[in-house]
């Protein structure tokens, strides 16, 4: 097939700004359904982008016209890029433009990873009848709960570096100088976090705005996708990784649209794929853990996406793929499932015991030699370094399944480990940590990390979470802690899928910081973005684990499958 490529095709947004797109389509006189992607990262990059979906030219060879458009103020498009503010309207305009072209059948689908599709679908586009199907990879559902904040803690490294790079893009456009990507460690270490003059531009101004809205409020609701699932009419293929910073959102989007989408067709045609990937690594190979050849995209994923497009853009056969495909770590294999969470899940509490142990039996009352609690001091001037997880810390590639032993020397990390397993134990689904905690200050953070301890000693991170204790009731309603009072709180570790093999152990690490992934809680109870180091306080944190206060993990245990 000969592919016709048209560069910088102009489309005028409803406010008159000229947006430009590259169009790839079969070189014939026929009309074709259109697949649209809008990106702030430069449309030419989509030719080589490693998305967990069908490659761009493969889509054209399959009979689609593909339109890749630069968002306003980026690439070849005119205007000023303002994060989140214009993309809903521009996305609707782009869909209507695609549907009206003479080479278009009028049917439009959308695809792309991360912000590429999120920018377009937010609020308006999935409710536009011209969009028949979407294929979002690693996309947010609620910006407050993933990109900017998690458990109430500011996701510092990702938010700062991403915002810095967008500001550099804009500086480069205005000066002609090459952008200097990657915020320095000095910017991450700065306290207070504001002012941030390096981000004083329309493309970076959102950083200060995000910090000014630590609670989930009307500002965040205006940008959130999870508040209008019941208006969405589009079937979708949702793709994420166990170590992706939007894993929680991807699962929420799948579950929300499966249950609440506006039409029976949309509810019945939500698909979910989760691999052993981080946001930037789709190969399944990390320094401390490799998932082998199977760790790459599963066989048939490209075909799965094209089948979904064919069904709803070309009246093709119904998609044959299972609704859910997951990579089960430990066994390092792909598996099809009927739904998520898995229907045969047994949510089992794994309790903290004295002697730094984890066990499935309830703790007894505290004895003479065991106070039934463990304590540590958290000093925000000396935070626990981030060791991997669902993050995007580009300057040191600190992401994914990282060995946690580098922090074993620290007295401000509590470690609990199970006995070596004698039988395989599969944990697949949402993971929670229910903690009975007290502290000496009106606020602090609580982090929880679940790891698989291998016979060679490696403690490979599976999933983790954080809770800013002032948000223990709600992300919208902060409430200070009463020093010394025990509170039952819950830390959301999102989800994982792992078989702990015989000889392996289950490990839980508990602390109050993971820096620079999250901002440092100064423990004062004040406005964190405005607190300098001179106001930071040391917090004594006590984790209670007796019969009256049974702190525990909640593990989604799955009966061992054949194979």
Catalytic site residues?
114, 244, 279
Task: Tell the residue number behind the tokens 């409803």, with chain if given.
Answer: 14
From the list 125, 127, 93, 88, the residue with the least C-alpha distance to 110 is 125
CB–CB of 319/307 below 8 Å?
Answer: yes
What's the length of the chain? 563
Q: How far apart are CA 345 and CA 368, in angstroms?
A: 38
CB–CB of 447/491 below 8 Å?
Answer: yes
What token pair was written down for 309?
A: 């497009």
- What b-and-e string marks burial along 292-327, b requiring 16 or more CB atoms within 10 Å of the CB? eebbbbbeebbbbbbbbbbbbbbeeeebebbbbbbb
What token pair was written down for 525?
A: 């109870």
Q: How far apart are CA 179 and CA 165, in angstroms?
A: 8
Half-sphere exposure of 185 (CA within 13 A, CB side): 4
φ/ψ (deg, to 5) at 151: 60, 25
Q: How far apart are CA 492 and CA 431, in angstroms?
A: 7
Is residue 329 classed as helix, strand or coil in its secondary structure? strand
Is residue 247 classed as helix, strand or coil in its secondary structure? helix
Prior bond to 341 cis, omega within 30?
A: yes
CB–CB of 226/254 below 8 Å?
Answer: no
φ/ψ (deg, to 5) at 182: 95, 105
Q: How far apart are CA 543 and CA 362, in angstroms?
A: 16
Is residue 89 classed as helix, strand or coil in its secondary structure? helix
Q: How far apart are CA 425 and CA 499, in angstroms?
A: 5
Q: How far apart are CA 84 and CA 223, in angstroms?
A: 7
Q: How far apart are CA 63 and CA 32, in angstroms?
A: 7
Compute CA distances 64 → 21, 57, 233, 245, 526, whole Å.
Answer: 16, 9, 21, 31, 54
Q: How far apart are CA 340 and CA 342, in angstroms?
A: 5
CB–CB of 301/266 below 8 Å?
Answer: no
Q: How far apart are CA 119 and CA 85, in angstroms?
A: 9
The two beta strands, 346-353 and 333-337, are unpaired
φ/ψ (deg, to 5) at 168: -65, -40
């Amino acid at each position: 097939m000969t592919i016709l490529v048209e560069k910088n095709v102009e489309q005028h947004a409803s406010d008159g700004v000229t947006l430009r797109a590259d169009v790839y389509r079969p070189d014939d006189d026929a009309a074709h359904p259109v697949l649209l992607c809008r990106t702030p990262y430069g449309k030419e990059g989509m030719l080589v982008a490693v998305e967990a979906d069908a490659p761009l030219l493969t889509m054209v060879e399959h009979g689609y016209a593909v339109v890749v458009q630069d968002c306003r103020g980026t690439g070849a498009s005119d205007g000023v890029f303002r994060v989140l503010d214009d993309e809903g309207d521009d996305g609707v305009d782009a869909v209507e433009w695609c549907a009206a072209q003479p080479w278009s059948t009028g049917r439009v689908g959308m695809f792309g990873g991360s912000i590429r599709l999120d920018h377009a679908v937010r609020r308006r586009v999935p409710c536009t009848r011209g969009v028949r199907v979407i294929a979002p990879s690693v996309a947010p559902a609620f910006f407050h709960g993933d990109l900017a904040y998690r458990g109430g803690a500011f996701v510092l490294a990702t938010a700062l570096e991403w915002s810095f790079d967008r500001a550099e893009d804009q500086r480069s456009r205005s000066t002609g100088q090459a952008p200097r990507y990657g915020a320095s460690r000095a910017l991450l270490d700065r306290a207070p976090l504001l002012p941030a003059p390096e981000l004083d531009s329309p493309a970076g101004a959102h950083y200060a705005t995000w910090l000014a809205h630590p609670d989930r409020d009307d500002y965040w609701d205006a940008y959130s996708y999870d508040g209008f699932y019941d208006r969405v009419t589009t079937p979708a293929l949702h793709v994420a990784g166990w170590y992706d910073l939007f894993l929680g959102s991807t699962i929420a989007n799948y579950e929300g649209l499966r249950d609440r989408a506006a039409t029976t067709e949309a509810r019945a045609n939500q698909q979910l794929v989760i691999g052993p990937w981080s946001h930037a690594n789709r190969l399944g190979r990390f320094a401390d853990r490799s998932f082998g050849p199977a760790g790459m995209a599963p066989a048939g994923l490209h075909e799965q996406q094209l089948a979904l497009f064919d069904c709803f853009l070309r009246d093709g056969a119904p998609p044959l793929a299972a609704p859910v495909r997951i990579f089960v770590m430990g066994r390092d294999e792909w598996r099809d499932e009927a739904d998520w969470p898995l229907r045969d899940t047994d949510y089992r509490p794994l309790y903290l015991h004295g002697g730094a142990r984890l066990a499935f039996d309830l703790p007894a009352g505290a004895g003479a030699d065991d106070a039934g609690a463990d304590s540590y001091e958290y000093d925000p001037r000396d935070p626990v370094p981030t060791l991997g997880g669902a993050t995007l810390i580009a300057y040191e590639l600190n992401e994914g399944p990282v060995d946690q032993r580098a922090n074993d020397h620290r007295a401000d990390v509590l470690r609990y480990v199970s006995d070596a397993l004698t039988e395989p134990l599969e944990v697949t689904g949402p993971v929670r940590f229910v903690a009975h905690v007290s502290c000496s200050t009106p606020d602090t953070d609580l982090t929880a990390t679940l790891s698989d301890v291998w016979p060679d000693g490696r403690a490979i991170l599976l999933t983790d979470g954080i809770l800013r204790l002032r948000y223990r009731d709600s992300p919208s309603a902060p409430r200070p802690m009463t020093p010394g009072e025990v509170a039952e709180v819950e830390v959301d570790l999102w989800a994982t899928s792992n078989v702990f093999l015989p000889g392996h152990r289950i490990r839980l690490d508990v602390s109050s910081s993971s820096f620079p992934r999250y901002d440092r809680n100064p423990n004062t109870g004040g406005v964190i973005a405005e607190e300098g180091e001179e106001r930071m306080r040391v917090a004594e944190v006590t984790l209670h684990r007796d019969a009256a206060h049974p702190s525990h993990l909640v593990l989604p245990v799955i009966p061992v499958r054949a194979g």
